[in-house]
Chains A and B, each alone.
With several copies, the nearest count.
Chain A
């Protein structure tokens, strides 16, 4: 029995006069205009103080309007399709909060309602790693999602994002993190400093594996797994600030390295810094967050600046001093791009990515908003 009827019966309701506000319909649930605008971003709240209750918030980086949110389980991931109005959230639940049966899911949301379209059960060993974009990879035609597993043996789950079903699990022993490299190809980095490239057959099983020579000196100067991609090239950055491009065609392979900082800057120990320290614009601009006075172990310290490069010319275009020290960065992909910086105050600063000016700050977007995803 709804109490509301009871309440209404107990209170006389006047007939609305002309100036009187009308009664309003219930239920009433907002929708989101589609397609999403170029400057709408998804902010990932890791929720470290309540890890089992994380969230993704959709915010307009221009107006700072909060458009909606998706709740997620612990150590969640998100991938946004551009060819289909869907979002794929990787998440882990226990049936009784912090205990009980574990369920791992890729949960599919539509962009107009942020409502669940499908819950795809996957093997209950998806990697539970602090927010990291390379925990998952949406392959280039967006019909396959690769989800890293870690227990601590490593494998990947292959998901059919069109059919909304789990296809297969592929072992990647000794390797971890996944990077899209084609319609049916991804690669992963390995503990010996090599990369492993995997081609899927049409069904989703591994059709071919190609292992590179070791090219990362993990002990001396490892490449961070927090990379960014421009067209056919992934850009990885080493702790010391070397850029390692990896071309994905015809088979992923490392090409010539170059340095972010000049010798003087390297002497001042300007190094990449922050959590997710790379972002890339499709026009060829590579963004890397940096800090001076680096030391052994400084690689997760917050960043003081964002440096902007022409990745092709390997030349720096701009230094953007951050108004507030930064943790993670992202850039929108349009022609008037915004640089988003998740800052150390738990807010997101919005900069003009071309001029480097701070435009405004988005606040109240979760307890520990550690990562930003563009949506276009």
Chain B
């Protein structure tokens, strides 16, 4: 499953939270996150989690293999060229494992992505993980080679939680099936 928002979107629920009393706002005013419009790059975004320390919202990961470079919690990780959904790497799984207690869908959509380490194109299977509700972390959408739904195996709008006990979507993985000629 992919998502249409390539960029950051605002949850309206933020706006829903209000107060009529001012007494406490003086205290917490400096730390309230606002609804103002701001330019925002992913890099800037990552640093907003804890202004005091400048740390990223989600801690970095590595595959540990120089041949598989990049950070699987980041949308620009090479395998995610056709992904759409919450990255399982941020949800208790990894780039190729579902989070504990979810079920990996046996049906998937498939893309090919180029590994910058070896310049090869790999066949990537985007297996959805199912049976718990939306993970909500690290939403990522990239549409390279994405086709309309009437070519379903090349489309990322579909909830691939099928053939699983529950059809509720939790997050998405990016599993290497092999290299593509």
Contact = CB atoms under 8 A, between A and B. Distances in A.
Instruction: Report if A and B touch in the complex (beta carbons < 8 A).
Output: yes
Interface of A: 2-4, 6-8, 11-14, 16, 19-24, 26-32, 48-53, 55, 58, 63-71, 74-75, 92, 94, 97-100, 102, 109, 112-116, 127-130, 132, 150-152, 154, 175-177, 188-191, 218, 222-225, 274-275, 291, 293, 295-302, 304, 323-325, 327, 343-347, 349, 358, 360-361, 363-370
Contact of A11 (B57, B106, B180): B180
- Size range of the chain B interface in the assembly: 35 or more
Contacts of A7: 108, 110, 153
Contacts, number: 338
Contact of A189 (B50, B123, B148, B169): B148
Max chain A C-beta neighbours (<10 A), residue from B94, B150, B181: B150
Contacts of B135: 69
A11 B123 contact: yes
Contacts of A31: 100
A58 B92 contact: yes
B165 interface: yes
A130 B152 CA distance: 13
Contact of A218 (B11, B110, B115, B148): B148
B166 A98 contact: yes
B165 A298 contact: no
A323 B92 CA distance: 28
Nearest to A370: B4
A94 B4 contact: no
Nearest to A223: B148
B12 A369 contact: yes
B63 to A, nearest CB: 9
B11 to A, nearest CB: 5
Contact of A16 (B144, B165, B179): B179
B32 interface: yes
B59 A363 contact: no
B62 interface: no
B65 to A, nearest CB: 8
17 contacts: A8-B123, A23-B178, A32-B92, A64-B58, A67-B92, A109-B101, A129-B149, A175-B150, A189-B148, A323-B52, A324-B28, A345-B37, A347-B10, A347-B50, A360-B53, A368-B9, A368-B11
Nearest to A10: B153
Interface of B: 1-13, 15-16, 23-24, 27-28, 31-33, 37, 49-50, 52-53, 55, 57-59, 65, 67-68, 90-94, 96-104, 106-108, 110, 112, 115, 118, 120, 122-123, 125, 127, 129, 131-139, 141-153, 157-159, 161-163, 165-170, 173, 175-181
B134 A68 contact: no
B104 A30 contact: no
Given A29-B97, A325-B28, A346-B10, A16 B153 contact: no
B94 to A, nearest CB: 7
A130 B12 contact: no
Listed from nearest, the 6 A-B pairs whose CB atoms lie closest are A68-B92, A361-B50, A27-B104, A114-B101, A13-B178, A128-B159
B6 A300 contact: yes
Contact of A48 (B3, B146, B152): B3
Given A13-B179, A189-B150, A363-B15, 7 more contacts: A30-B93, A49-B13, A66-B58, A74-B159, A74-B169, A344-B32, A345-B9
A165 B83 CA distance: 38
Contact of A12 (B1, B159, B181): B181
Contact of A26 (B120, B143, B146, B175): B175
A36 B33 CA distance: 33
Contact of B7 (A16, A344, A367): A344
A226 B10 CA distance: 24
Nearest to B19: A301
Contacts of A218: 147-148, 150-151
Nearest to A14: B179
Contacts of B157: 129-130, 132
Contacts of B16: 49, 364
Contacts of B68: 21
B17 to A, nearest CB: 9
